[in-house]
Amino acid sequence: MATLRIREDIWNDVNRHLSPLGEHFAFLRARWTWSNGEPVLWTTGSALVPDEVVTIDRGAHEVPLETLLDNINKAVREGTTLIEVHNHGGSHPTWSPVDREGLRQVVPYMLSSLPGRPYVATVWAGPHIFGEWFGSDNRQGELRSIVVAGSGLRQLVSSNGTRDADRLETWSRQRLWFTEEGQRQLGRLRVAVIGNGGTGSLLVQNLAFLGVRDFVLVDPDLADATSMNRLVTGRRTDVGQPKVNLASRLIRSVAQKAAIQPFRADLRDKSAIDAVRGCDLIFGCMDNDGARLVLNELALAYQIPYIDLATGIDASQGKVTEAGGRVASVVPGGPCLNCMGEIDPDEARYFLAPDAERVFARDRGYVRGFDEVAPAVVSLNASVAAAAVNEFAVWFSGIRPINILSELDLIGTGRGKTAQWLTPKRVVRDPECVHCLIAATGDEANLGRYAASLDSADHLKPVSGRGRNKSYKAER
């Protein structure tokens, strides 16, 4: 089903407009793309319809034709589409018979006025929204997800077909935190986990036990013997099995009816990008800045919240000199990974190059360190995975806004006390960041250009090369 992302300032304005008693109307403008053949939309603006221009004819509220034309013309000029908004009382909104009759009349007109664009109609009731999309060739469907990401992460969709994936007793120990409604909303989120190795496997485990029930998993690699010291999804007999299959098996062991889309593919694969851009939240557990750059751009272009994990250990002859990790969060309107200095452009360029160019660069000595195997232990990966899931949990439940960047220093290098530190770091958006220029541009970002370098299954190897600030890389 389709996905709608509403900018927080737009959500606040529209929600205030709908709050007084009575029925009120608004239009949202949105850009869009497609995922699994259904629309994904993110809002760019809104128009609140003044109550005094709305008329009532035989019990039906009517918005003036002039108002409708004004909004259509603005969408045509901007290259956006429209989302109709009105409100009902109650807690689980759906269409009334009057609404259904109105849609039967207005939808063909809107589709002909905005050719090639999906049209969406929604009905709001407090913190819940029900919506349907309409497209050419009589295609239509419900909105699967409606998300507002900002100071919190709200899942607002209300569906006639909503069913609990688990008995509520399963959540008796955590519903005082999330509430029963919050637990249901958590189960509706579609979450992408990119990288299902040492860190990603622990992340998947945490999310499944927390209550996430809709996953997109992306990883091209097979489990090998060297990963069995930290791959919690694997067993000794699983060497040679795709890591996405092992992650899927673990999720099924926790929630048999969970929805899972596994992709044994590079993130640059078109099918993987198509699935990920329809997700509500992304977790990145990649081991190099090439993949990290692509995912950063994807999250920016399609306005998807993105939490990136990284770990690293510097050791020589049995002596550890530095060990730790970090959790970085990219939310719409905030700094991206490039703003934070968490993408090394040289490393990204190397890993996004075709294999032949990478071999040439290594042979000529142009690059060093990017293909070295780095030390890794399960407990460090677990600490960073847990920190990321905790950050998500407090953000989703509304306890506090998400922290943009936190660093885990296992040793306390350079600090007043040699101990374990988890420290929030202050970061701001860079007004000159070239990555942020593609924010909300959708398909115009042309992420398909990265597929040109995807000429081999040999990619995303463990690395220990340094980024611009730290050497943390989420190993596989």
166 inside domain:
no
Q: Are residues 126 and 198 in the same domain?
A: no
Strands (E), 36-139: 38-49, 55-57, 60-62, 81-87, 119-125, 128-134
* Residue whose C-alpha is closest to residue 184's, from 194, 203, 170: 170
Tokens encoding 206: 């945490």
Residue with tokens 């980024």: 467
* Arithmetic mean of pLDDT over the chain: 89
> Domain containing 436: what range?
171-453
What phi and psi, each to the nearest 5 degrees, are found at residue 86?
-150, 165
Q: Are residues 30 and 75 in the same domain?
A: yes
Q: Among 7-16, 82-91, 216-225, 371-380, which stretch is predicted with the lowest mean pLDDT?
A: 371-380
Q: Are residues 140 and 194 in the same domain?
A: no
Please report the pLDDT score of residue 313 as a whole number: 87
Kindly tell me if the per-residue pLDDT of 390 is higher than 80. yes
Amino acid at 276: V
466 inside domain:
no
Q: Are 297 and 472 in contact (CB under 8 A)?
A: no
Q: Are residues 97 and 123 in the same domain?
A: yes
Residue with tokens 């959500």: 11
Q: Are residues 312 and 445 in the same domain?
A: yes
473 inside domain:
no
Quick: pLDDT tens for 95-111.
Answer: 999 999 999 999 999 99
- Return the higher-pLDDT residue of 454 and 114: 114
Q: Among 237-241, 340-344, 368-372, 406-410, which stretch is predicted with the lowest mean pLDDT?
A: 368-372
Amino acid at 422: L
16 inside domain:
yes
258 inside domain:
yes
Please report the pLDDT score of residue 368 as a whole number: 59
Please report the pLDDT score of residue 315 as a whole number: 83
Quick: pLDDT tens for 408-441.
Answer: 999 998 788 899 999 999 999 999 999 999 999 9
pLDDT band of residue 170 (cuts 50, 70, 90) is confident
Distance of alpha carbon 67 from the chain centroid: 34
Cα 162 from Cα 157, distance rounded (Å): 10
Cα 32 from Cα 35, distance rounded (Å): 10
pLDDT band of residue 36 (cuts 50, 70, 90) is very high
Tokens encoding 304: 């998807």
Last residue in a domain, options 131, 155, 179: 155
Kindly tell me if the per-residue pLDDT of 308 is higher than 60. yes
3-state secondary structure of 422: strand
Q: Are 380 and 410 in contact (CB under 8 A)?
A: yes
Q: Judge residue 143's burial from the number of C-beta atoms within 10 Å of its C-beta, 0-12 exposed, 13-18 middle, 19 or more buried.
A: buried
Q: Are 42 and 445 in contact (CB under 8 A)?
A: no
Residues 6+ apart with CB under 8 A from 73: none
462 inside domain:
no
pLDDT band of residue 462 (cuts 50, 70, 90) is very low
Q: Are residues 197 and 317 in the same domain?
A: yes
pLDDT band of residue 369 (cuts 50, 70, 90) is low
Residue with tokens 């109650």: 90
465 inside domain:
no
Last residue in a domain, options 155, 180, 200: 155
Kindly tell me if the per-residue pLDDT of 472 is higher than 70. no
Whichever domain contains 317, its CATH number is 3.40.50.720
Number of residues in the chain? 476
Q: Are residues 427 and 286 in the same domain?
A: yes
Residue with tokens 């306890």: 399
Alpha-carbon separation of residue 355 from 123, 163, 215, 263, 387 (angstroms): 51, 47, 30, 21, 35
- How many domains does the chain divide into? 2
Strands 214-218, 259-263: pairing kind: parallel
Whichever domain contains 113, its CATH number is 3.40.140.10
**Structure letter (DSSP) for residue 165:** S
Q: Are residues 245 and 303 in the same domain?
A: yes
Please report the pLDDT score of residue 302 as a whole number: 98
Q: Judge residue 461's burial from the number of C-beta atoms within 10 Å of its C-beta, 0-12 exposed, 13-18 middle, 19 or more buried.
A: middle
Q: If you average pLDDT over residues 223-237, what whole number do you get?
A: 93
Please report the pLDDT score of residue 357 as a whole number: 72
Kindly tell me if the per-residue pLDDT of 470 is higher than 60. no
Q: Are 288 and 370 in contact (CB under 8 A)?
A: yes
Alpha helix ranges (H) inside 146-197 = 175-188
Q: Are residues 54 and 181 in the same domain?
A: no
Can you give the three-state secondary structure of 217-276, one letter per residue? EECCCECCHHHCCCCCCCCHHHCCCEHHHHHHHHHHHHCCCCEEEEECCCCCCHHHHHHH
Q: Are 310 and 324 in contact (CB under 8 A)?
A: no
Count of CB atoms situated within 10 Å of the CB of 226: 13
Quick: pLDDT tens for 1-35.
Answer: 799 999 999 999 999 999 998 899 999 999 999 99
Please report the pLDDT score of residue 294 as a whole number: 96
Q: Are residues 354 and 428 in the same domain?
A: yes
Q: If you average pLDDT over residues 323-349, what whole number do you get?
A: 95
Distance of alpha carbon 2 from the chain centroid: 14
Q: Are residues 199 and 317 in the same domain?
A: yes
Strands 405-409, 319-330: pairing kind: antiparallel
463 inside domain:
no
Q: Are residues 407 and 349 in the same domain?
A: yes
